[in-house]
Amino acid sequence: MKEILDFPSGSPAKIMGILNVTPDSFSDGGLFVKKEAALNYVQKMILEGADIIDIGGESTRPGANDVSVDEECRRVIPLINAIREISDIPISIDTSKTQVMQQAILAGASMINDVNALQADGAMALAAELKVPVCIMHMQGKPRTMQHTPSYKNVVSEVKEFLLQRIEACIDAGINKNNISIDPGFGFGKSLEHNLSLFKHLNEFSELGLPLLVGVSRKSMIGAVLNDAPADQRLYGSIALATLAAWMDAKILRVHDVKATVDALKLCTAVKNID
Ligand code: 7PM
């Protein structure tokens, strides 16, 4: 089987297509997930060239409130089962909750994407036991309040140091180094200047020796630079940053707009691989 975190030299970055299953997407407002619509959307992302589908049922947006384990499972587990019936595409579960990770992997997800870097009780041990690939992300603070007063002396070195410590903790907990990917966490407890500085220095994260995942698609840092463009006007900005990230050796691009990103990435890879 092809491994999710396997990147032979010269191979393009992988595209992780985002499937948000929260009250404002593929849901009637909380209780009922519109499974058919969500499945069609997944099918579309697969046809457009997604390599991984990232399913999240916990809104991690700035200011978001907590969701219970039961509610989060109700949102994502039936969908994981349904995707498994139509495709063997790798599925990552975007969650910070140990029980959701466990249920999702049991249902057929094959990767854990945790914006909280496996810091919940039992999360690291579970990932070690299940032997699945993980993405550990940096966040300053907690989702509800993280954008209030982000503060760093040096954002690049502090984010790097945090990731280094979490990598060591993962390895100590028995997670295979080949199963770890890292993410600086754009927008998670960072001002516009912090986000831009992290992006400019993305190359430096290669020093950690693990595949880098970048998630900037439609994020507010793009809106801010584009004179407060709303989320539905951030496509071109998202493509620009996805291309720059791939140029700077990011290995996984977490995106909403799969087709546009795949095309941009093809050009990026063609230029990268020429002598
Ligand atoms: C609403 C607002 C819903 C913002 C979701 C979000 C990342 C992630 C997210 C990321 C990794 C979004 C965020 N962002 N996982 N999950 N890296 N690894 O903009 O940057 O998609 S949720």
Q: Of 74, 219, 234, 251, which residue is the catalytic one?
A: 219
Ligand 1: distance of its center to the CA of 215 in Å? 7
The tokens for 213 are: 């995942």
What pLDDT sits at residue 22? 84
pLDDT in tens, 25-59: 786 655 556 889 999 999 999 999 999 999 999 86
Torsion of CA 103, 108, 109, 110, to 10 degrees: 120
Cα 135 versus chain centre, distance: 7
pLDDT tens per residue, range 78-99: 999 999 999 999 999 999 999 9
pLDDT over threshold 70, residue 136: yes
Tokens for 131, please give them: 């032997």
User: Given CA atoms 243, 249, 255, 258 in this order, what sign does their dihedral have?
Assistant: positive
Residues with CB under 6 A from ligand 1: 18, 20, 59-61, 94, 113, 115, 135, 137, 183, 185-186, 213, 215, 219, 254
Return the pLDDT at 25.
78
Left, alpha or beta for 56 (phi > 0: left; psi -120 to 50: alpha)? beta
Q: Are 98 and 120 in contact (CB under 8 A)?
A: yes
Lowest mean pLDDT segment, chosen from 13-27, 34-48, 243-257 = 13-27
- Please report the pLDDT score of residue 40 as a whole number: 96
Per-residue pLDDT of 201-239, as tens digits, reads: 999 999 999 999 999 999 999 999 999 999 999 999 999
Catalytic residue chosen out of the listed positions 254, 259, 266, 272: 254
Tell me the backbone φ, ψ of residue 107, rounded to 5 degrees.
-80, -10
Tens of pLDDT along 164-182? 999 999 999 999 999 999 9
Q: Which of 75, 84, 164, 180 minimizes the C-alpha distance to 124? A: 180
Query: Can you give the pLDDT at residue 59?
Result: 67
* pLDDT of the residue at 29: 57
What pLDDT score was predicted for residue 144?
87
Cβ-based neighbours of 171, under 8 Å, separated by 6 or more: 177, 180
Q: What is the pLDDT of residue 31?
A: 52
Confidence tier at 63 by pLDDT (50, 70, 90): low
CB 61, CB 119: distance < 8 Å: no
254 a catalytic residue: yes
